[in-house]
Amino acid sequence: MEHRTYPEFSTHYPLLLTTFMKRPVNLYPDQIGVVYRNHVSGEYARFTWLQWYRRTSQLAHALVNKLGIKAGTPGQPGDRVGTMALNTHRHLELYYAVPCIGATLHPINVRLSHEHVIYTIRHAQDKVIFVDDTVMPLLEAIYDQIKDVVQMVVYMSDKPGLPQTRIQNIVTYESLLADQADVYDWPYLHEDTNATLCYTTGTTGQPKGATFTHRQLYLMTLHVMAMQSVSNTPNYDAEGAPGVRLGENAVPMLNTPMFHIHGWGAPFTCVFNAQKIVLPGTFTVQGFCELVEREKVTAVGVVPTVAAMLLEYKDFDKYDLSSLVRVGVGGGALPLGLKSKLEKMLPNFRVSSGYGMTETAPSTIASFVKKHMVDWSKEQLDEVMVKTGLPILGLEIDVVDEHGKSVPHDDQSVGEIVIRGPWVTEQYFKAPERTAEVWYGGWFHTGDIAKVDAEGYIVIADRLKDVIRSGAEMVPTVLLENLISMADFVLEAMVVGVPDPVWGEKPLALVSVRPGYQGNEEDVIAFLTTHGVDTGKITRWMLPKLVAITQDIPKTSVGKYNKKAVREQLEKFLAIAKDVSHHHE
């Protein structure tokens, strides 16, 4: 008699996002799992894990039964469902219902230009779009350019009813869920079924769509959680103090927009960890402070520009932010000056840096203290924690020269970061030529240049396109930005190369001054001379030849410095810049 085995439930058990969703509702059905604060009205909504799960199940039924959303198969993505949404409980429901029925979630970056938003919707061929009430004006503005592609619009609001709109085929989110069963028989999909489609911000040409399967997102989540579990705690860190909540008891606030590279993975790690998730809608400094105080938030992720906004908030001292112990900074280098200024304001606060990109879903590199460093002084550890970091468990990462050879670990030689691993995007959606530009020689080529120190820590030096080529030398702008930001009077600093008839390019520094502080162009150069040139971190010829003091440093849709915008408006910035080249003599 032949005995059947069940590889589909053993050796080939599929790695699905469904597994993440089921865990908290099985363990903690009656505990508050999701807290949402409407950033416009200030009203709160709270859901137990069971309530959130039931709503997600109702949404799954509605997607299939009412909207006709079809599942995909490996290599053939299911129907694309676009979201024009902020960090709300409804967006978190979509994050699970859409992929877990086998369809593809396309979180649309609503801060892109109208042209790029239209392009991503048309390129993805979104069948349905779910839109927040606050984002509705954007959809109204572009509707004529997408109405031949999008078959249905679902309106999401805390207020009942539909708004006055010329958009046809529109229903409310809550009416869509209302008559649906709150239990769903989730399919055991093939783990290589596509789950999400995330577009780059399109700083060079049109945005590119990176595809990710359930298996990829599952493995990224698992490895990120493993990385957190093996992280060594420095001796000065408050994380081991009584009353500090970590692990399942951590309270993360999802600051990074969920339309930006999976909200840095938080919707996956936080649900799987069954942590109480705090959703702020969108970031405001006051909202951030209120939510941290009220919900006792322990962990957040921010871009450096958001961290700078906290620094300049005049009512910062009015709030009890002592629960906050861990802050991850990504989307740009973490300047040591910014880290030390924030930690001075909040003694329990520990800031660390990391690196990722749309095509890596995004987790790749994180600052991490090695076990022999835990007793180092705070000053030494700070120097480590502002480095971009070490590869996250499970990834192969190298820094290579133009011949594909690994650069020496001398903290000087620069090369391009290349990556391979289970959650690096396999290809750009419907763009084989653009895939070939980044995937060759068995590695994904990031276009970011870095150096590596003797301990193996990677430090981002620049984007290839942002390096200033002055004479025969290369000036990494990130190094100058980090040095300038250490000055007490500096809030933000950006350095770009501008054309020069003799040198080819010369550095222009854009600097904003912290509220309540004084500082001018000469002060910037004096600080760089003392803390950069005199300490051997930079040479005198690297000093900016032009400095502009301005509160108007351009940012991208996700808060990164927008150097492309500076180049496009160069005359405007050159007009306010002061020539400080005499300091080079």
Q: How far is CA 49 from the centre of its chain?
A: 25
Question: Which structure tokens are listed for 453?
Answer: 């120190």
Residue with token string 């871009």: 303
**C-alpha torsion 248→253→258→263, nearest 10:** -60
The DSSP output letter for 73 is B
Q: Which ranges of the chain have pLDDT less than 70?
A: 202-204, 233-246, 464-465, 470-474, 583-585
Q: Would you state the pLDDT for residue 583?
A: 65
Q: Would you state the pLDDT for residue 242?
A: 41
Burial class (CB in 10 A: 0-12, 13-18, 19+), 6: exposed
Q: Would you state the pLDDT for residue 239?
A: 46
| Residues found in the chain | 585
Q: Give the whole-angstrom CA distance, residue 565 versus residue 572.
A: 11
Q: How many other CB atoms are found less than 10 A from the CB of residue 40?
A: 11
Query: Which residue ranges form the domains of the chain, and what is each CATH number?
Result: 52-212 (3.40.50.12780), 470-584 (3.30.300.30)
Q: Give the whole-angstrom CA distance, residue 502 versus residue 496.
A: 17
Residue 48 is which amino acid? Answer: T
pLDDT over 90 percentage in the chain: 71
Q: How far from 558 is each of 39, 85, 138, 236, 305, CA to CA, in Å?
A: 18, 14, 17, 32, 10
Alpha-helix residue ranges (DSSP H) falling in 500-583: 521-528, 563-568, 570-576
Q: Give the whole-angstrom CA distance, residue 462 versus residue 141.
A: 36
Question: Which structure tokens are listed for 53?
Answer: 């799960």
DSSP assignments along 433-454, one per residue? HHHHHHEETTEEEEEEEEEE-T
Question: Which structure tokens are listed for 398?
Answer: 């190298």
Q: Could you give the 3-state DSSP secondary structure of residue 374?
A: coil
Nearest to 414 by CA among 468, 343, 337: 468
pTM of the entire predicted model: 0.85
Extract the runs of DSSP E, i.e. beta strands, from 281-386.
Answer: 299-302, 326-329, 350-356, 363-366
Q: Would you state the pLDDT for residue 368?
A: 86
